[in-house]
Chains A and B, each alone.
Chain A
Amino acid sequence: MTKEEVKSVLMEIVAEIIPDEDLTNLKGDIPIREQVELDSMDFLDIIMELRKRYGIEVPEDDYIHLATVDSSVAYLEPRMRDL
């Protein structure tokens, strides 16, 4: 996957987990949780969906890399490059 595809996959997952939030103006460099209502349970579901759909394992210590959209894409891109 390209960076753009990784980003669109991520946004698709977030949109499904928090369907009633408006994501159109989400800024890439600010933590997602500061911009929309996404609690720790919802955050866990992003990790779980990545595993369920793409077999990507994000260890607990790496959760911090998924704070913003940009950092998520940077973290996921090498792991999803061959998908």
Chain B
Amino acid sequence: MDYDVLIIGAGMSGLAAGIRLAYYDKRVCIIEKHYRVGGLNSFYNRGGRKFDVGLHAMTNYVPKGVKLTPLPKLLRQLKLKPEDFALCPQRMSAIKFPDKTIKFNNDIDFFVQEVVDNFPAQADNFQRLLKTIFEYDELNLYAKPISAREVVSSIISDPLLINMVFCPLMFYGNAQENDIEFGQFVIMFKGIYCEGFARPRAGVRQILDVLVRKYRGCGGELKMRCAVKSLKCANGRVESILLENGEVLTADKILSSAGYVETMRLLSNYDPTGIEDKAGQLSMVEFITVLDKQPAEMGHETTIIFYNNSDRFDYRKPDQLVNVSSGVICCPNNFQYENPLPEGMIRITNLANFDLWDRLGKEEYNAQKAAWLGTSLNEVIKLIPDFRDSIVFTDVFTPKTIHRFTGHINGAVYGTPNKTKMGITHLENLFICGTDQGFLGIVGAMLSGISMANLHVLQKG
């Protein structure tokens, strides 16, 4: 078969790119190696229950009627209505460090007041930081990367406040250890503190169902359980696509959401020099607990807590299987739904080491999952009411699970720290979208697919 555009991966970015292209009458095909769409933001069933893989909350939530921010922009681009995602805003979230708690909801003024109350000496500096953030053009694809730590510490003089502001932005979308690129920092800052969190009651399925239905409705083709074996290259371009099942496809252009290094590895003339060391290192483990009551009944009403229980805040690959000293506690129940979710649930995310998990034999792997669940629970009950007696079901996913779902080398949740903002590669018809292009989060991923489809296909006629 011959296509105008072939898209590798049916995650948020691939589906969004596919909708744009199919809507404007391109012959487009998305190939997905998994039996399920979503990539990093997928879902699964276990023990008769439905679980989400990636999504804690969608960032960038704005109520209907607000214009010019990423969410309404992407809805417009995908020809969707705000109601389609059925987003329900959060209640209240918090950043908890030793001796300090900063709360935030979807109202930036509330967050600013919290910062000022907790760090009165930094009040003016924080206003200056906001001004710097609002004046920065974070969507400029040509901007040179700069260090957010450098920019922010030249404005804010209290390292504790810096780490507290950075913590959620790191956990929700940063591929780099301990620092974050300033453009990325601005995107995440606006998405989390200025706009805010929301979740569809049905979880990530809601978003994915809408995207798949829209894509198919526009005439797009979706091949599931279909993996690329190799991209045949000649004359500086990809000439054909060989699938694992032996089929050969051709396409004028290829958009890959598989990751930069992962895509390069598919090339028939792949030269690993200078490529392999670009692979990301940061991975995570998630402990999911199902409870026999609503968390609010136990006095836990916070939506998401970003915590750090240590004197230092380390956002890097841990030296042991898991680092429980910092992480994220998400309660999917604590969004403003019309009807409560049927069961209580608390999800804990911690940084984890892919290599160490990958090395374990099957029995040891399961034993370590159970052991670290206990360790992580011991840590989080310092921050929220002890809910361990209410747990009726648990599940754990590790860097190995992420690797299996996404194909990301090292189970790197947010891909490589070296983003390819323009999406171009050394091959003239091969482009990168999604995680490794550089807009992160669920909204960011969709915008990435849209931008790359616009830039490299639609604008070119």
Binding site for B on A (CB under 8 A): 17-18, 20, 37, 39, 41-42, 44-45, 48, 51-52, 57, 59-60
Contact = CB atoms under 8 A, between A and B. Distances in A.
Residue among A17, A44, A52 facing the most chain B CB atoms (10 A cut-off): A44
Interface stretch (B354-362, B367-375, B453-461): B453-461
Given A17-B76, A59-B461, A39 B454 contact: no
A51 B24 CA distance: 8
Nearest to A59: B461
Nearest to B74: A41
A17 B68 CA distance: 14
Given A41-B77, A41-B450, A42-B76, A48 B68 contact: no
Interface string B47-91: 000000000000000000101100001001100000000000000
Nearest to A19: B76
B343 interface: no
B459 A60 contact: yes
A20 B67 contact: yes
A41 B459 contact: no
Contacts of B67: 20, 37
Interface residues on B, range: 10 to 19
A45 B458 CA distance: 9
A16 B458 CA distance: 19
B247 interface: no
A59 B460 CA distance: 8
A48 B22 CA distance: 12
9 tightest Cβ-Cβ pairs between the two chains A and B: A48-B24, A37-B67, A44-B454, A41-B77, A60-B459, A52-B24, A48-B458, A52-B25, A57-B461
Contacts of B459: 44, 60
A20 B82 CA distance: 13
B388 to A, nearest CB: 48
Nearest to B459: A60
B76 A41 contact: yes
Nearest to A60: B459
Q: Is the contact region of chain A dominated by helix, strand, or loop, or is it mixed? A: helix
A54 B67 CA distance: 29
B422 to A, nearest CB: 15
A82 B63 CA distance: 45
Contacts of B65: 20
B68 A37 contact: yes
Contact of B460 (A39, A52, A60): A60
Given A41-B450, A59-B461, 13 more contacts: A18-B76, A20-B65, A20-B67, A39-B68, A39-B73, A41-B77, A41-B454, A44-B454, A44-B458, A51-B24, A52-B24, A57-B461, A60-B460
29 contacts: A17-B76, A18-B76, A20-B65, A20-B67, A37-B67, A37-B68, A39-B68, A39-B73, A41-B73, A41-B76, A41-B77, A41-B450, A41-B451, A41-B454, A42-B76, A44-B454, A44-B458, A44-B459, A45-B77, A48-B24, A48-B458, A51-B24, A52-B24, A52-B25, A57-B461, A59-B461, A60-B459, A60-B460, A60-B461
Nearest to B454: A44
A26 B461 CA distance: 28
Nearest to B20: A48
A57 B77 CA distance: 20
A45 B78 CA distance: 11
Nearest to B461: A57
Contacts of B76: 17-18, 41-42
A39 B450 CA distance: 14
A82 B1 CA distance: 35
A23 to B, nearest CB: 15
A21 B401 CA distance: 46
Contacts of B451: 41
A65 B405 CA distance: 47
B291 to A, nearest CB: 41
Contacts of B25: 52
A35 to B, nearest CB: 14
Contacts of B73: 39, 41
Interface string B7-29: 00000000000000000110000
Contacts of A20: 65, 67
A11 to B, nearest CB: 18
Nearest to B460: A60
A14 to B, nearest CB: 13
Residue among A41, A51, A52 facing the most chain B CB atoms (10 A cut-off): A41
